[in-house]
Amino acid sequence: MRRRAAEYRRPVRRRFSCWIWALLGLFSIAGLVLFILHHNQHEDRVDPPVLERNARTEQVVREGLNFTEEILSAASFSRQLAEQMTLAKAYVIIAKEHNNLHLAWELSKKIRSCQLLLSKAAMRGEPITLDEAEPIISSLSSLIFKAQDAHYDIATTIMTMRSHIQALEERANAATVQSTVFGQLVAEGLPKSLHCLKVKLTVDWLRSRPLQDVAEERRNSPRLVDNNLYHFCIFSDNVLATSVVVNSTIINADHPKQIVFHIVTNGVTYGSMQAWFLNNDFKGSTIEVQNIEEFPWLNASYAPIVKQLLDTDSRAYYFGEYQDLRIDPKLRNPKYLSLLNHLRFYVPEIYPQLEKIVFLDDDVVVQKDLTPLFSLDLHGNVNGAVETCLEAFHRYYKYLNFSNAIISSKFDPQACGWAFGMNVFDLVAWRKADVTARYHHWLEQNADRTLWKLGTLPPALLAFYGLTEPLDRRWHVLGLGFDLNIDNRLIESAAVVHFNGNMKPWLKLAITRYKPLWERYINQSHPYVQDCVTG
């Protein structure tokens, strides 16, 4: 009877071993390939003198052995060691589960020997020999057989491994979400340098009555409503970023004295924004600064967004203590709950006497004269914008919930998305089409957040649907806040470059390659900039 049981256990263990080898061998190979790639990346960062000294050695290594191919070769000792090591790691976990700590320790010791040998082979660029591999393979095989003999309950083993895999997946997912949230906090936090600049300028504003008188006098300038001039608008609470947008636009303009900038900010930043633009020279252009809190029409009874932003349930949904991990962390970005971010849908209300205006985000840099935008034929459309559907993920179905009949019955899921950040608005056509009312309608339809989650682009795609004129892509190049590989020729040809993404140019995590494009338009000679920013 015992003999039959023993004979039965042997094929079971063999089947179990084969199953484990097949399942974990793939993970072993993938892991070691990643290790090799990681190792190669570190080699690429060696100092030039070292590279020169070792050039001949590296050439021999590359010609002598491709370690990636070696680890994938079924006949190589590296492959056998990798598979045994992965299987041994699984049995370390199982041995610990059964409180067999001595076996777990023995397996761990052999795993370290195996890792060391593989690492040496990768470093020297030579295959592992039989003499090197045989002692480890033999001893590790013996330990694996011992582990199999001690823990041959396949069902229990599979369940144990699955539970560990599930736990690791959950930890990995939690770590990914957490890192994204931390990155978002870094991106949205006000750097100390910008806070310093804002404080100094606010003090100047509060102490200077003459400065306040000049600002009051300029409110009634006829240039602010002259449709023969070129009007631009920015809605921001970032003084330095707004200054860069204004500077870059004016410096690259053929006729800067014909430019009018309309800036809207919040009550906290209003004084510092006024102090900056009243005390600096902008080549004869006109700068207007307004406080969003002085717009009496922007209230909950007229604007659904105001009501939604004040709603405690909406705020708890995105910022509550118990947040749904299924919500994209970027949607918890404070800018989405900032009224300044939604002000772009109320341009005709803010400037009732204007006929055409160019909207600019505060994270753009202007590189060419933008005044030709005002003579573009929009063919009766309201919004002139650069389409983004050259990238497949920028189509309507990526922003909106097409499983909802309200959306699917009215919109084409394959319609092109377009970029906010540099837009030409025909305000006459806007008023005629009543785009703001369309925006209000869709906000109300999305009160339960089933049509889209958050942000300004999804409702804009709905409100401006059929009313957007595609512009030449060179007017607006995006991605400088997240894409490290934008073609230099594309950047050089762009009229506007956009630092959309988390890596804003005023942050330490900015992409170094693009940062000079933004820094060149900072007024480095200003004493506050020297004290707070460059100092």
As a three-state string, the secondary structure of 206-225 is HHCHHHHHHHHHHCCCHHHH
pLDDT at 535: 62
- State the sign of the Cα–Cα–Cα–Cα dihedral 293, 299, 300, 303: negative
**What is the domain extent for residue 89?**
67-152
Domain boundary residue among 152, 180, 211? 152
Q: Is residue 182 part of a domain?
A: no
Average pLDDT, the chain: 81
Within this chain, do residues 105 and 216 fall inside the same structural domain, yes or no? no
Within this chain, do residues 199 and 92 fall inside the same structural domain, yes or no? no
Indicate yes or no: pTM above 0.85.
Answer: no
Q: Is residue 23 part of a domain?
A: no
Q: Is residue 395 part of a domain?
A: yes
Model confidence pLDDT, tens digit, residues 83-98: 888 778 877 877 787 7
Is residue 344 scored above 90 in pLDDT? yes
pLDDT at 1: 41
CB atoms within 10 A of CB 160: 18
Within this chain, do residues 339 and 244 fall inside the same structural domain, yes or no? yes
Least confident piece of the model among 136-145, 179-188, 514-523? 179-188
Is residue 49 scored above 70 in pLDDT? no
Highest mean pLDDT among 189-193, 265-269, 326-330: 265-269
Is residue 26 scored above 70 in pLDDT? no
Residue 88 and residue 111 in contact, taking contact as beta carbons nearer than 8 Å: yes
Distance CA 495, CA 373 (A): 11
Tell me the pLDDT band of 198, cut-offs 50, 70 and 90: very high
Within this chain, do residues 204 and 86 fall inside the same structural domain, yes or no? no
Q: Please report how many Cα atoms fall inside a 13 Å half-sphere around the Cα of residue 24, on the Cβ side.
A: 22
Q: Is residue 164 part of a domain?
A: no
pLDDT at 389: 86
Within this chain, do residues 272 and 323 fall inside the same structural domain, yes or no? yes
Within this chain, do residues 142 and 199 fall inside the same structural domain, yes or no? no
Within this chain, do residues 388 and 456 fall inside the same structural domain, yes or no? yes
In the chain, the percentage of residues whose pLDDT exceeds 90 is 50
Within this chain, do residues 259 and 383 fall inside the same structural domain, yes or no? yes
Tell me the pLDDT band of 309, cut-offs 50, 70 and 90: confident
Q: Is residue 279 part of a domain?
A: yes
pLDDT at 509: 84
Within this chain, do residues 344 and 207 fall inside the same structural domain, yes or no? yes
Tell me the pLDDT band of 437, cut-offs 50, 70 and 90: very high
Q: Is residue 287 part of a domain?
A: yes
Q: Is residue 35 part of a domain?
A: no
pLDDT at 83: 82
Tell me the pLDDT band of 14, cut-offs 50, 70 and 90: very low
pLDDT at 188: 54
pLDDT at 340: 92
Going by C-alpha positions, the residue among 199, 110, 194, 196 that lies closest to residue 146 is: 110
pLDDT at 137: 85
Average pLDDT on 46-66 reads 43
Within this chain, do residues 360 and 445 fall inside the same structural domain, yes or no? yes
pLDDT at 181: 54
Structural domains counted in the chain: 2
Within this chain, do residues 395 and 259 fall inside the same structural domain, yes or no? yes
Q: Which amino acid is at 473?
A: R
Is residue 29 scored above 60 in pLDDT? no
Highest mean pLDDT among 273-282, 312-321, 447-456: 273-282
Q: Is residue 183 part of a domain?
A: no
Residue 17 and residue 157 in contact, taking contact as beta carbons nearer than 8 Å: no
CATH number of the domain within which 196 lies: 3.90.550.10
Within this chain, do residues 147 and 196 fall inside the same structural domain, yes or no? no
Going by C-alpha positions, the residue among 397, 501, 404, 419 that lies closest to residue 464 is: 419
Domain boundary residue among 96, 131, 152? 152
